[in-house]
Structure 1
């Protein structure tokens, strides 16, 4: 079995898709090595194991709303598109959405997958509780306020198989997306926060060589559907025509210039269509937002070498959080995302050069995307890594839930 893009082949001995939580418990209890697999949107070996892979995507969502706590409980394998559709029907919303609404809740949470917005935490920051199947097959909840909560949310699947997740909700809201064209690089580099704060969620799309930048997507949270929006941002002009991130024969991106439910306009891709192209490789690095201009200049110096192998780069921001292994832990962050053509050798050659350019800014690679940063270096960039490693040792002393990639991380000599 391969991942969503077809660029990684899993090495597990079997893949199981139980339809009940009881069946997950039984499978975990009898397995020597087992890891959870979501919707296979990772581009590296993070989710793989030498044992069994188990997916909870076939378990019914069983949505439950707790009005007093303002949370919705969902099945861990439920896709965000389904969660968004359900919540909108109930007059409720999440604070954020990833660009791709077809990823599973538990998979996105476990890897710190993010969404966008200067003031918006990543998807994991909505978590108020997770229900895990432990090594012996027993169920347990970890909830906000518990001593280990901050280390148990973005946990890379190392604490057990997550079967239920509690997410914070709020009243539904309107979002309008507009595309602005012609942002000069000089304007962006002179004041990155002025551009990234132009809306509730802002994405800058570049190929690193074109100037001005062709597309800036601004998603605004509105009080009313007839609220007016600026015609220009930083010299970029609002476009009336539809735009796409990557050219495609299918109109699978969300509508521009029209206010609508958050669920239909906050993601990049429509929840009722198959998103993106799939035949691609993805890489992403998170640096402090305060270093954005210098980091972008460093990468832009490689633009002529990057562009021939690139489909698109997206620049987005994520608010700081206190989750131990979140890529935004402790710092407001800029995400520098590369969607590459399916050219493995070229990507593997470019990653070390990009990482070297970003090295002064201590980049944290996305947990589920291609990179060549040594595991010891990755671990050293998380101040609570030692605490996380100790938590894993307590929860799963025999490393039933680990695999080759996570073993290498847990065994990393951080002092080196």
Structure 2
């Protein structure tokens, strides 16, 4: 059955759709999926003449009844955007229940309030520790030993706590990220200054990987491919500012170290070896597993995210060993994870990003980003700029590869289903 929408019910349905859209968008869901969920809710409750406008900070719904009743427009601001994949899964489950017509409109308010107020699946200390373990695992992945991993762990904890202290005082997130990135660089500079016989630069790389914006990057590329250019531009701007903050923190600390005469050299910047040995496989698994915990992926789905990290690393290494350029190997490895992750997500009926986003962690370009900033700090501006462009290209290749895998699966699932999943798909040929 479908629900006949009186004017009061229409307003309730629009308020429900706006609240659901806010929760989805605030959790990092792509614009296309947010619009689709809202549209399905409204159609279930009998509203057919509704237009949705979703951007990065606001959602607007306009209802124009065909029976002559006054038009209605409502908007909801998205003021808090914080990843919580456990809540994201719960919102999608609620949407499926509504679309299956198992939940009367009068009961949706209480259910949605329960979803919004559900406690975090992990305590705060576990999330902070998981972020630090991302850095430690990344340090192991690129060849650092126990001392380097422990240093990356301490540096990330220190940066996170300093960022939290600044946040409580209203300091902008840009400077929080810059301070967090500078902490990893400071620890590395101290190790080099004291001539500790370890790969000190791996501390910076690990700390940087824990800060790089993998989640908004994938959503940015997905929005752009789906034709949501305004939101894609907004997300891309967000990605650029996050990267700029990380670069600023690294560059400031490196510049101070160079001025003080600390012997930092470009030729000792570590790069992850193209190896399938135990340290690299464990490092890739560790990065993805801890990344999943930081994103509040429920425990029952942690194994899937961790295995995705191993899959993307093994695929990348095999492709790179067989002569594929780095960016192409990155794109294809991400496409494999996008395809398998999306297929598995549909099997267990959760959003694909629950598995895909943690899996891309091992390929985030921390080493290239650090090398570029080091070269610029040493006066090699052209080389440094090229490395920064390469880092951005690798990041975009990851996002494009993930979406490519999902699109291949979409194409293979049949025309009728594809049209229902993306009813606005079109062929403009660029004009």
Same fold judged by TM-score > 0.5? Answer: no
* Structure with the larger helix share: 2
Structure with more of its chain in strand, by fraction = 1
TM-score (norm 1): 0.29
**Rg comparison, structure with higher value:** 2
